[in-house]
Amino acid sequence: MFTDIVFPAENEKEFIELAERLSIPGFCFCYPFVPKNDYKEILGRIKKLQEKTQIRLTFGLLAKPNDSMKARQLADLLIVRAIPTADNRPIIEKKEIDLIYELEGSPKNDPMHYRYSGMNQVQCAIAKESEMIVAFSFSMLLNTAGFRRSVLMGRFNQNIRFCRKYKVNTSFASFAREPYELRAEHELLSLARTLGMTPGDAQAALGTVSTRIEENLLRRQGKFYGKGIEIIDKPK
């Protein structure tokens, strides 16, 4: 199932209304993690919204790398935005983080035979080992124009090829901050294929977030210990 990642600002209802028209099956509402904050109000708001929609709603946190252990205990999905001017290897090594996005944001100019895409072979191997999801942001492309957009598309393509070669988990989502940035599932599938994913890879990338959230929810209940190791309730 496709679960889109979005960043609401008390406009969850507007996101849901448009998502119902676009037939988006799931949302992970992500909020900035502040260690001193109490998220009970937000969780209560999501619970009330869930009672009025068929769209599956889950709770995510956008954390700084140093806060990832604290945020892990609260979130259905824990994500980190890549630092465009730094080596993101220390983030990719953190097993408590589910997903990193916008690796392609380096301000450097790409040389002729290589792109500053934020990933290389070593980082791919680490991401594979840590089970990190490398995500591609539609919003990043949408809010960029002209030559810069073509640069980003080339970097997306390079990272997609890296991830495919090294079997790194990938995701494709809108990362919308406003409802107008949402797109239907079939539109994101088409864009993922345009950027270099095979049809099978594109379909899998749209389901990665849902799978990880399910694993995290089971892990929180003490029922999930790793791929293929899951406690199943005995039938009554």
Taking only the tens of pLDDT, the chain with its 236 residues reads 999 999 999 999 999 999 999 999 999 999 999 999 989 999 999 999 999 999 999 999 999 999 999 999 999 999 999 999 899 999 999 999 999 999 999 999 988 788 999 999 999 999 999 999 999 999 999 999 999 999 999 999 999 999 999 999 999 999 999 999 999 999 999 999 999 999 999 999 999 999 999 999 998 888 766 665 655 565 55
Please name which of 90, 89, 99 lies closest in space to residue 60, comparing C-alpha atoms.
99
Task: Identify whether 173 is part of a domain.
Answer: yes
Number of domains in the chain: 1
Task: Identify whether 235 is part of a domain.
Answer: no
| Residue ranges making up the domain that contains 130 | 3-230
CATH number where 42 lies: 3.20.20.140
81 forms bridges with which residues in the sheet? 101
Task: Identify whether 33 is part of a domain.
Answer: yes
Predicted TM-score (pTM) of the model is: 0.92
Task: Identify whether 236 is part of a domain.
Answer: no
Task: Identify whether 142 is part of a domain.
Answer: yes
Task: Identify whether 195 is part of a domain.
Answer: yes
Task: Identify whether 207 is part of a domain.
Answer: yes
Cα gap 92→135, rounded to integer Å? 12
